[in-house]
Every structure is written in structure tokens, then in C-alpha cells.
Amino acid sequence: MKIRVLFACLFSLASFTMTAQESFPQYGKPVDIPIYLSATFGEIRPNHIHAGLDIKTQAVEGKKIYAVADGYVSRIGVSPYGYGHVLYITHYDGYTSVYAHLQRFSGAIAKYVKQYQYRNKQFAVQIYPDKDKFPVKKGDLIAYSGNSGGSGGPHLHFEIRHTASEKPVNPLYFGYKIEDNVKPLIQGVSVYALGDNSIIEGDYKPVYYAVEGGNGKFKLKEKTVVTGNGEIAFGICTYDQVGTSTNKNGPYLYELFLDDELAFQVECDSFSYSEPRYVNSLLDYRHYKQKKSSYVRTETDPFNKLQMIAMRNGTVMVEEGDTVNVRFKISDFAGNASEVGFKLVGVAPVEVERPMRNRSEYFVKADGSINNEILIDDFHVTMEKGTLFRDEWIQTGHREERGCCSQVYRFGDDGMTTFKNYTLRIRPDEKWADHPRKFIAYIDNNGKVSSLGGKMKNGWMEVQTRSMGEFVVKIDSVAPVVKASNFKDGQSVKELKSLRFKISDDMTGIENYDIYLDDVWVLGQYDAKNALLYYDFDEKIKAGTNKVKVVVTDGAGNKKTANWKVTY
């Protein structure tokens, strides 16, 4: 048996965090209610690493949010997506705290933001105030908790970042004590045969094993020995619960031991915002797309540079007669740990029938040296070095489909993923070449169609994308739908606090939205996840009759204008 060494074992960041409790400042609480978590720092999710703590707000909005240390407001964001209403406070000790998914800002900050939005006639803004504009002291009221942006329910998303590098750091290092004696739960173990000649249980396909047990001790169901030959890697499906919270959170530390020697380690301490897409390489991405369960893999792809992977020796070579004791140890931040283990026994190699490669498959080198540019009829792909995590065989093809402006072209499938965007170009049929409402559509393995957008360049529709699967040029000639949801034309609205509208577009999505009272722009707030556009009454609405106009434009440039009259 030989353990394959891929990279240096430790990153300097890992040693830095070993003294985390001694070296980090201790901050105040951002809320005045008990802290219960619905998500932990570093949770490994498809396309995403969770960059903070999700603090429960008792299932309601409007809880007071406080500055955790002295500093100044350095950034304010408002968006219908992502962090929604978000506030950044830069502290004088080298860190910045972040408060996201807010309902609203407090006092002078709220007034300043609204003035900025009116001055620029837009809801979504990013503001960088001068450092003297909003100084804050520890414990100052700065905002109220909410459910804005991409939030899935009322909570506070709370982050702490290195100010200089903007790298998020685990906030639990900063003095937040949460009682927790619950050990992580292990749900499954996977084993992978790597390369062209390796096998697991007599086949080349990954094997997924259910586990049983509890209270930190788990084992494979109905199995203690796994057989294999060649280069082998492993995977673990696990989650943690923090104290009395029932949410399925991410563990803090993943460790793989081979014959009691630490070979692979992921530590959820800090990462760079340029890194989250690396998580798709750490995960068994294809299995997630098919089964919706997340396995963290111990094989580190050549172009996976995720800093949280502190040790990268997670594969082993086994030959006939070898025995390797394989053990996973999963720990949470409080030190509660769970383990699962089994024996990997080397057997004689066997010939296994593997999929035949055909002429429509291209072998693409991740370093950009082979097939980084592929041209098939009126379909063109260009990938630069590091777009892929590893060398890949990529299936291509094309087919006809009625109602489209080009053939449907295949490039891989939705079980594959990339780190960087690549350039995808399709030449539309000649009769559609000058149509102004074209876009490139993506079709996943289940036939779901979504818009990637795209622009015409030298006779080609071009887009940057990370998606893999089927692509086609389509036309969007249907304008968005706009409906009043809490009033009717001609109605008195004196008893209301706002005018609310449902806006939607089933193809290229909502691009712009504006509300006017008597042809004067007023602040319309957009809640994208609920398809809601609304205007909270302010001094712009006048006594008597008001003409209301809403103008909504989609991603293809189709515009819908709707008009009403209301009495106030």
C-alpha cells in the first residue's frame, strides 16, 4: 500500500487558526436575543461556501441589530438578490463585520440610503460612505433583521472579514459561545476508483454505503470490508447540529486517516471570495445533481486551490494483499466528534467493461493544452487554463428543435461543472440573425429551460457561462406581466401603507422596474423571490387623485407599461 502525496500538507492559514481563540478580538453580540444558529461558517454547498453565521430571529423580522465593535459604516448595499439589505462596519482592529438580509437600516443610515436611491433613481445600490459619515460604537443600533435578498426565511446573516484581504473568517473565533454537546451525524460513505484501471467491488463505478450508529460511533451497514485495486479515494456525507438547533449545519473539521495517519483535512476557518466555486470540485458534484446528497471527496483535483483543504493526501494505491484501515473523523467547532471506519482490502485486478469513447467526445486538458477551443458547425467553445478542475471527456452533439433560432448544441451535461466562465458562441439561423430579442437558452438534463442572455458579436450570439449541458438560441417576444395586488383602478388607498404589484417574466427575467406617480419617479422596492414590487407611501404621494405608472423591462428588452389612478 502506498499513500499518494499530492501537495504540501499544511497551509500557513491552518497554523494561524490554531491559536484563534488567543489571537482574535472578542466582539459583542449583533442581537439582543439568545443566539441560535440555522447555518454555520464554511458550510460546503454546491456553488457556494457559507461565509458567516445565520442567526435565528425567532421566525420574525424587525429584531434590533447592533454593531459588535467600534468602527464606521464603510459600505451599504441594497439588492433584490444575494444579501439584500446589507451593512458593512469596518473596525479599528483589522476586521469588518457584515450584517445581511436586513429588513431596513436605522435612523440616519436609512434616510441617507433613501436620498441616494432617489438621487440616482434606482432601488438596487452599492454605497461607500466616507469613514467620517457614520461612526459607530459597540452596541449602537444600526438596523433591523429581515428576510431580504436571497434569504429563505427571517434571520441575520452575520460575517466577519479581514479588512485588508476581505477574506471571511469563522465568527466563532470572536468570542461567541454557543452551548453544544451534539456530535455530528454521518449519513454515508463513498469510495471511488480513480484512473483507467482501478476498481471498487469489482467495478469502476463509485460505490455509496449507508451507515448506522449514533453518539459519535458509526459503521457501514452490513459491511466491514471494501475490496479494491489501484488508486482509490473516499467521500463522506455528514452534517452537524449546533446545540438545540435542529438545522442540518456543516461541520467544522473533516479528517481522513489511513492506517491512523492523517491524510486529508478540511478546516472551515477562512477562505477567499475568489474560491467558492472550488467547492464543486471538493464535492461529488454529479452525485449531488442526481441524488441531492452532498459527499465531500478526499481526492483533490489539480486545479482545486481551496484554502480550507489543509491536507491533500486523500488517495491511496492498493494492490492484491494490501489492507488499509480507513477512518473518517468529523468534528464541530465545540470539539464534538464522530467517526466511521472500515477496512479496504486489495484484491487481484480484473478486466471491467468501461464506456466506449466516440467521435463526439473531446478530451479537454484542464491546463488548456488540448482542445481548449472546440468548433462544431455553428457552435464554438473557448476555455482558458484552469476553467476545468481536472482533465475531462466532454460529450458534444446537436439536434433540431422546433421554435428555435438555431440547432440545440450539447457541451457536457449538468452533472459537470467548471471553476471559471468559458466563452460559448452560437451562430443563429440566417433568418433570425437581425432579430433584436434573441438570447441563449440553457436546457438542463430534466428539460428545464433558463436564460443565459448573450449578445450578438460578428454574427454569433456570445455568452460567458459555467453551465454545461444543452444550449440553443431562442426569441423572447413576450413582455413581462404586471398586476396590482392590493388595490384596483380608481380605488381610494388612504387606508393602505403601500402600493404593491406582482411582476413576472417567464423567459429572460426582470431586468428593470420603475414606478411613477404623476410621471414623477418614486422608489419602488423589488422583492425578487416573491415577484413583488412595492412603493411605501412617503411625501411623494399627494392628496387627491394620483396617476400610477409601472414600467417593467425583461432581459430581452420587452417592455410592459401599466397604468392606474388612485385617490389618496
In a domain, 352, yes or no: no
Rg (CA), the chain: 27
C-alpha grid cell for residue 111? Answer: 434616510
Entry field: residues in the chain: 568
The mean per-residue pLDDT over the stretch 540-545 comes to: 96
Q: Quote the percentage of the chain above a pLDDT of 90.
A: 93
**Given 3-state DSSP classes, what are the helix, strand and coil percentages for the chain, each rounded to the nearest 5?**
10, 45, 45
Same domain as 152, residue 51: yes
Give SS3 for 21.
helix
Decide: 474 and 489 in contact? Cβ < 8 Å. Answer: no
Confidence of residue 6 (pLDDT cuts 50, 70, 90): very low
Q: Which of 286, 311, 346 delimits the end of a domain?
A: 346
Q: Which of 448, 475, 502 delimits the end of a domain?
A: 475
Same domain as 213, residue 324: yes
Task: Report the pLDDT value the prediction gives residue 14, as an integer from 0 to 100.
Answer: 37
Task: Report the pLDDT value the prediction gives residue 23, as an integer from 0 to 100.
Answer: 87
In a domain, 209, yes or no: yes
The mean per-residue pLDDT over the stretch 315-324 comes to: 98
pLDDT, tens digit (0-9, with 9 covering 90-100), for 257-284: 999 999 999 999 999 999 999 999 999 9
Strand order in the sheet with 559-567: 520-522, 510-517, 545-554, 559-567
CATH number at residue 410: 2.60.220.30
pLDDT for 17 beyond 90: no
Task: Report the pLDDT value the prediction gives residue 76, as an integer from 0 to 100.
Answer: 98
pLDDT for 465 beyond 70: yes
- DSSP result, 393-420: EEEEEEE--TT-SS-EEEES-TT---SS
Task: Report the pLDDT value the prediction gives residue 166, as an integer from 0 to 100.
Answer: 95
Mean pLDDT, the chain, whole residue set:
94
In a domain, 375, yes or no: yes
CATH number at residue 542: 2.60.40.1220
pLDDT for 558 beyond 90: yes
Decide: 158 and 52 in contact? Cβ < 8 Å. Answer: yes
In a domain, 13, yes or no: no
Decide: 240 and 40 in contact? Cβ < 8 Å. Answer: yes
The mean per-residue pLDDT over the stretch 453-477 comes to: 97
Identify the weakest region by mean pLDDT among 242-246, 377-381, 389-393, 482-486.
242-246
Q: Give the per-residue SS3 of 298-367.
A: CCCCCCCCCCCEEEECCEEEECCCCEEEEEEEEECCCCCEEEEEEEEEECCCCCCCCCCCCCCEEEECCC
pLDDT, tens digit (0-9, with 9 covering 90-100), for 192-242: 999 899 999 999 999 999 999 999 999 999 899 999 999 999 999 999 999
Q: Which residue has the higher pLDDT, 513 or 244?
A: 513
Task: Report the pLDDT value the prediction gives residue 222, as an integer from 0 to 100.
Answer: 86
Confidence of residue 11 (pLDDT cuts 50, 70, 90): very low
Q: Which of 120, 150, 174 delimits the end of a domain?
A: 174
Sign of the dihedral through C-alpha 112, 113, 119, 120: positive
pLDDT for 63 beyond 50: yes
Same domain as 213, residue 101: no
Same domain as 471, residue 485: no
pLDDT, tens digit (0-9, with 9 covering 90-100), for 37-49: 999 999 999 999 9
C-alpha grid cell for residue 173? Answer: 473565533
In a domain, 441, yes or no: yes
Q: How far apart are CA 218 and CA 221, in angstroms?
A: 9
Task: Give 127's DSSP letter.
Answer: E
pLDDT for 191 beyond 80: yes
How many structural domains compose the chain?
A: 4
The mean per-residue pLDDT over the stretch 529-536 comes to: 98
Decide: 65 and 99 in contact? Cβ < 8 Å. Answer: yes
Domain extent at residue 204: 185-346
Same domain as 315, residue 217: yes
Q: How far apart are CA 384 and CA 157, in angstroms?
A: 35
Give SS3 for 156.
strand
Confidence of residue 13 (pLDDT cuts 50, 70, 90): very low
Task: Report the pLDDT value the prediction gives residue 355, as an integer from 0 to 100.
Answer: 87
Task: Report the pLDDT value the prediction gives residue 22, as an integer from 0 to 100.
Answer: 52
- DSSP result, 272-301: -TT-GGGHHHHBTHHHHHHH----EES---
Identify the weakest region by mean pLDDT among 6-15, 87-96, 458-467, 529-538.
6-15
Alpha-carbon 359 to chain mean position: 35
The mean per-residue pLDDT over the stretch 127-147 comes to: 98
Give SS3 for 260.
coil
Measured CA distances, 381 to 260, 357, 362, 396, 507 (Å) = 46, 20, 12, 11, 24
In a domain, 49, yes or no: yes
Q: Give the per-residue SS3 of 244-257.
A: CCCCCECCCEEEEE
pLDDT for 9 beyond 60: no
- DSSP result, 442-488: EE-TT--EEEEE-EEETTEEEEEE---EEEEEEE--PPPEEEESS--
Same domain as 485, residue 471: no
For cell 452551548, name the residue.
179
Same domain as 327, residue 218: yes
Decide: 559 and 551 in contact? Cβ < 8 Å. Answer: yes
The mean per-residue pLDDT over the stretch 382-403 comes to: 96
Task: Report the pLDDT value the prediction gives residue 127, as an integer from 0 to 100.
Answer: 98
Which phi and psi angles does 219 have, rounded to 5°? Answer: -150, 160
Measured CA distances, 209 to 70, 168, 271, 448 (Å) = 50, 34, 31, 31
- Give the residue from 540, 529, 528, 488 showing the smallest Cα distance to 552: 528
In a domain, 22, yes or no: no
Same domain as 448, residue 334: no
Task: Report the pLDDT value the prediction gives residue 458, as an integer from 0 to 100.
Answer: 96
Q: How far apart are CA 69 and CA 95, in angstroms?
A: 10
Measured CA distances, 332 to 108, 240, 250, 255, 272 (Å) = 40, 7, 8, 12, 21
Q: How far apart are CA 218 and CA 209, in angstroms?
A: 12
In a domain, 426, yes or no: yes
Task: Report the pLDDT value the prediction gives residue 425, as an integer from 0 to 100.
Answer: 98
Decide: 189 and 212 in contact? Cβ < 8 Å. Answer: no
Give SS3 for 23.
helix
C-alpha grid cell for residue 523? Answer: 422608489
pLDDT for 1 beyond 80: no
Beta-bridged to residue 105, according to DSSP, are 143
Same domain as 446, residue 365: yes
Same domain as 329, residue 189: yes
